[in-house]
Amino acid sequence: MNSQQYEEFCRYFLADKLGISIDQIESVHIPNPKRSALPEYKHQIDLYWESVTELSTYLHIANAKWRTSAKVDQPEVLLLQKVKEKVAAHKALMLTNQGYTAGAIAAAQDDGIALHIVKPNLIAANLPIKDRAAIQETFLASSSASKKPIYMHEVVHRAFDFSEIQTASVRPPVISTANQGFQTRVSTGNINRAGGGYSNRAISPGGGRSGAVTRSGGTVTKGSGFIKR
């Protein structure tokens, strides 16, 4: 299998996993924003697709790396992360058939890049060499004729898997307070305070306070030697 055949193979794999049409996963060249006095260039994206919800649209990109023996290394993951930033993609995936070095995995974990191993489970010698449509027709025919998937898939790093988050970072469950011996008390002796927490006392013409304090509709008269409620 060559690089172009593997790119088409990964296109088939993604369409099958996502449950979408193969035509929805494109290969594109996205122009970089032009800056004054700087040359123009484009970002070559192996696999590009969008997912649309009622609230928003999400852009995904993937890089397909066919290797005869060498694993994908850290610089290739860092380059994919930079392209993801440049084209404002929400998610980036790296797909290869040989695996990843420790440095590549570390970089992917830091930047949130998903890493997958995708290997063909069919005879690649029968594949067309360059015709993309003919290659896809061969994949579809092989899939229909086989009882097993035509690919082998292993997740190396999914990125942002909530099952991997430490317990300390998960919001604690809400504990019901029902039937735990707590009592609700109703207070009937509230003081009617006016003016931000002060007692409601009448101010005498001379600027002093009289001895009346209003408490829940009753009057307490001070200064005359007795209390009237």
Checking DSSP bridges between strand 151-157 and strand 114-120, what pairing results, if any? Answer: antiparallel
- In this predicted structure, what is the pLDDT of residue 203? 43
Residue 59 domain-assigned (yes or no): yes
Label residues 20-41 b or e (16+ Cβ within 10 Å = b). eebeebeeeeeeeeeeeeeeee
Task: Say if residue 104's pLDDT is above 90.
Answer: yes
Residue 71 lies in a domain: yes
Q: CA-CA distances (angstroms) from residue 103 to 52, 75, 132, 153?
A: 34, 9, 33, 21
Predicted confidence at residue 95, as pLDDT, reads 98
Query: In the predicted model, is pLDDT for residue 170 greater than 80?
Result: no
> Does this model's pTM top 0.85?
no
H-type alpha helices, 114-194: 132-145
The answer to whether residue 227 is domain-embedded is: no
pLDDT band at 100 (very low <50, low <70, confident <90, very high): very high
Mean of the pLDDT values across residues 56-81?
97
Average pLDDT over residues 219-224: 49
Write the DSSP assignment of 38-92 as a string of letters.
S---EEEEEEEEEEE-SS-EEEEEEEEE--SSPPB-HHHHHHHHHHHHHTT-SEE
Span 124-134, mean pLDDT? 89
Q: Is residue 203 assigned to a domain?
A: no
CATH code of the domain containing 157: 3.40.1350.10
Q: Considering the chain, what is the average pLDDT of its residues? A: 81
Instruction: Give the structural domain span for 52.
Output: 3-31+40-161
Does residue 68 have a pLDDT over 90?
Answer: yes
Distance set, CA 67 to CA 6, 16, 193 (Å): 10, 22, 80
pLDDT band at 190 (very low <50, low <70, confident <90, very high): low
Please check whether residue 199 lies inside any domain of the structure. Answer: no
- pLDDT cut 70: percent of the chain above it: 69
Strand partners, 19: none
Using the structure block, give the residue that is written with the tokens 């408490």. Answer: 215
CA–CA separation, 82 and 86 (whole Å): 6
Half-sphere exposure of 183 (CA within 13 A, CB side): 3
Q: What's the structural domain count of the chain? A: 1
Q: What is the pLDDT of residue 202?
A: 45
Lowest mean pLDDT among 30-34, 84-88, 206-210: 206-210
In a domain, 155, yes or no: yes
* Residue found under tokens 């123009």: 40
pLDDT at 166 over 70: no
Per-residue pLDDT, averaged over 148-173, amounts to 70
Minimum mean pLDDT among 59-68, 104-113, 161-170: which range? 161-170
Residue 206 domain flag = no
Residue 105 is predicted with a pLDDT of 97
What pLDDT score was predicted for residue 34? 83
Displacement of CA 116 from its chain's centroid (Å): 18
Residue 26 resides in a domain: yes
Residue 126 binned pLDDT confidence (cut-offs 50, 70, 90): confident
